[in-house]
Amino acid sequence: MAVVKLLGTWLSPYSCKVIWALKLKGIPYEYIEEDLSNKSPMLLQYNPVHKKIPVLVHDGKPICESTVILRYIEETWPQNPLLPIDPYERAVALFWIKYADDKNPLIPKLYRTTGEELEQAAKECSEILETIEEHGLIEGKKFFGGDEINMVDISFCLVAHWLGVFEEIAGLKVFEPHKFPKLNSWAQNFKSVPVIKENLPDADKIFAVLKHRRETLLAPKPN
């Protein structure tokens, strides 16, 4: 029986965050793909409060919420640290991780809405990108924390990869490289990290699934 199990879904950025943390630290794990339209008894038992993936199970004990999981991984397996050691720098990193956690749910609205709602979603998205560009990224630094990828970069993965897919589905562009040059550089750097590059779900596959999901969502409801 594997000591570490991960319940996830292949296209979830939250699931990917945990995979990347485990792989960056070289932790072997058993991956279990969940069908969210038919949640397994195991998932419901391990995450009764939210009934969501990802769930990390370590020695039979479940940990839920991707950021809580990442912090647990960081404390349990300290090699290749994903958070700064200095308390102040760590507080700054945690601020940005919380910012990402609070804003991430807004970004998928791009593929789930139309009309005025979509306009609003695009505006919100643009504001998020502006904030990161202006306050989060430092000129000349490859990643949020410096030369090495850390938990902040991982937390902003939606911006680096999934946002592009949402834009294609919605037929509009929010993340214009010339408007957000630092963010654009950062996204390229992030996706070039070997662990990330080799464990990023294929954009075309995500596109196919989410396009279908959008059609279902927006289909006129029967009376």
Q: Which residues bind another protein (CB under 8 A)?
A: 49, 58, 61, 63-65, 67-69, 71-72, 75-76, 87-88, 90-92, 94-95, 98-99, 131, 135
Nearer to another protein among residue 35 and residue 75 (C-beta): 75
Contact 143, 154 (CB under 8 A): no
Q: How far is the CB of 104 from another protein (least distance, A)?
A: 13
Contact partners, residue 103, CB within 8 Å, separation at least 6: 128
Nearer to another protein among residue 98 and residue 173 (C-beta): 98
CA atoms of 41 and 31, how far apart (whole Å): 16
Q: How far is the CB of 157 from another protein (least distance, A)?
A: 19
* Long-range pairs, 137-140, Cβ under 8 A, ≥24: 137/182, 137/183, 137/186, 139/182
> Minimal CA–CA distance to 184: which of 108, 149, 146, 133?
133
Q: How far is the CB of 129 from another protein (least distance, A)?
A: 13
Q: How far is the CB of 56 from another protein (least distance, A)?
A: 9
Burial zone of 46 (CB within 10 Å; 0-12 exposed, 13-18 middle, 19+ buried):
buried
Q: How far is CA 89 from CA 47, 130, 145, in A?
A: 32, 22, 9
Please, what is the Cα angle at 213 between 210 and 217, to 5 degrees?
A: 135
Q: How far is the CB of 207 from another protein (least distance, A)?
A: 29
Taking residue 6's Cβ as centre, other Cβ atoms within 10 Å add up to 23
Nearer to another protein among residue 95 and residue 177 (C-beta): 95
DSSP designation for 11: T
Q: How far is the CB of 50 from another protein (least distance, A)?
A: 8
